[in-house]
Chain A
Amino acid sequence: MAKTGSETIGAAGEKGKMTLFKDDRAEDIGAIILSVIVVAIIIILTMK
């Protein structure tokens, strides 16, 4: 089976991927890391 890689619409290859990451799992981890960064910035900005 061709590697689907990601939430691809109509294409399974690199061109059709809906993510810059290698797959959904890497993107999920990227989202978690980005969330941590966002939360850290917000906490710093709202510190009294």
Chain B
Amino acid sequence: MNGDVGFFRKLPSALPGLALIIVTMVVIRFWVEPWMTSAVVFGTKGWLVKVTHLNYILLGIICGMLYRNVLFGGRMPDVLSDGFKLSRLMIKTGIILLGSLYTFNAIVQLGSMAIFLIGGFVVLTIILVLWLGTAFGLDRSMIGVMANALSICGVSAAVATSPAVEAKASHVAYAIATILGFGIVTMFISPFIGHALGLTDLQYGAWIGTGILNSGQVLAAALAFNPNVAPGTAVSVAEIWNIMRVISIPFAVFAVTVWYWSGKTEEAEGGKRKGLGTLLVEKFPVFVIGFLVMVFLTSMGAFGDVGLKNGPPASETIKMMRVWMTWIFGFGLVGLGGYIDIKELKQAGGAPLKLGLIVGVTKYVLALLVVFAIKDYLVAI
């Protein structure tokens, strides 16, 4: 448990960075957002919100990016860096709490169409990456990591796959830089595309829950489209689609591992093989279990009424949970912005970047077209 002891020992050093994150979000939500809503620009009241669709989520990420890349010259000062390292803890905590938006009954209603679509995109993306990566002459370990990074939820999948395909740290870093670079672009343009096309929360959530690669960026893009947290909103739809994609990690790791080892030459036979069972136990993101427990408790009525359409209004506990969620996500996404280093993204040059862009764009556009094609079959939960 050295790591846990290390965490508590490091916690005091995280306070300055945490304070900056909290102050940033408080200023954005109490002063910047209200000002943007009432400010008259180009003769229109609230132009900044109506036209740019900037909200506390996007502003938080932008502030984090500005801190790192402009104010501090590309590197977080040591005094602040430990605080920003809490950002993923907050995002994961928020996603667990997000389980209070769903009931198992509602998830079942999501329907076979959604499950088929999510599974289909995962399988087809893996096949496309394996084929293109081989055609581009990439290292097999690199291809394996990219296959799962691009097909599921980006970073977690890349890390989970790496030991199974004997990937070097540089392969993982390269894959992560590629998917995060692509994800940053999609995170910012998706809300504009969604509003321009007049997508509903359901259509938009289904699209980005399928088409955007990284879980944190799915969350950001959903909240940027509609900052409300409630059943049926973009974040509610996108996250359940994304969580279902995350749950497919063990199956995708299994498939890519089989592909990797089946192509190994005989000289590698004596190499150290990774036990698949051990691998899955070690790498499965267990916070997803926390999310499922939250869904179970909500389904059992532990927190009162959820506030589904045509049902009784949400309980006070559920209402307060949603307010806290928006703050927790806000803090986490300021921190996420602080990790976007423009210089590091340049690491993703060359063939892996080409592979990532081809597959990423294909998936992003195809997901939008498919969501349009099946919009009548999408089920709001």
Give A contacts to B, CB under 8 Å.
1-4, 6-12, 17-32, 34-35, 38-39, 42-43, 45-46
Contacts and interface: CB of A to CB of B under 8 A. Distances in A.
Interface residues of B, number: 53
A27 B89 contact: yes
Contacts of B96: 31-32, 35
B5 to A, nearest CB: 9
Contact of A4 (B10, B172, B324): B172
Nearest to B96: A35
Contacts of B172: 4, 8, 12
B287 interface: yes
A2 to B, nearest CB: 4
Contacts of B163: 1
27 contacts: A1-B163, A1-B168, A2-B168, A3-B169, A4-B162, A4-B172, A7-B88, A7-B159, A9-B173, A9-B344, A10-B173, A12-B169, A19-B89, A20-B7, A21-B6, A25-B286, A26-B3, A27-B89, A27-B287, A29-B286, A31-B96, A31-B287, A32-B286, A34-B89, A38-B324, A42-B321, A46-B320
Given A31-B287, A39-B321, A43-B317, A24 B159 contact: yes
B244 to A, nearest CB: 18
The 9 closest A-B pairs by CB, nearest first: A22-B3, A12-B169, A31-B92, A2-B169, A28-B287, A32-B290, A35-B96, A7-B155, A28-B286
Contacts of A45: 320
A18 B166 contact: no
Nearest to A29: B286
B33 interface: no
A42 B282 contact: no
B11 A20 contact: yes
Given A4-B159, A12-B169, A19 B85 contact: yes
A26 B7 contact: yes
Given A8-B176, A35-B294, A1 B287 contact: no
A35 B328 CA distance: 10
Contacts of B294: 35
B233 interface: no
Given A35-B93, A38-B97, A20 B159 contact: no
Contacts, number: 127
B7 A32 contact: no
Which has the most chain B C-beta neighbours within 10 Å: A17, A21, A28, A30?
A28
B305 interface: no
A10, A12, A23 interface centre (most CB from chain B within 10 Å):
A10
A23 to B, nearest CB: 7
A46 B166 CA distance: 50
B180 interface: yes
Contacts of B316: 46
B86 interface: yes
B173 A1 contact: no
B301 to A, nearest CB: 13
A27 B90 CA distance: 10
B239 interface: no
A26 to B, nearest CB: 5
Contacts of B95: 31
Interface string B315-341: 111001100100010000000000101
B320 A31 contact: no
Contact of B3 (A1, A4, A23, A42): A23
Given A8-B176, A21-B7, A25-B286, 7 more contacts: A9-B173, A9-B344, A12-B173, A20-B7, A22-B4, A32-B96, A32-B290
B290 A7 contact: no
A24 B146 CA distance: 19
B95 to A, nearest CB: 8
B93 A1 contact: no
A30 B4 CA distance: 9
B78 to A, nearest CB: 10
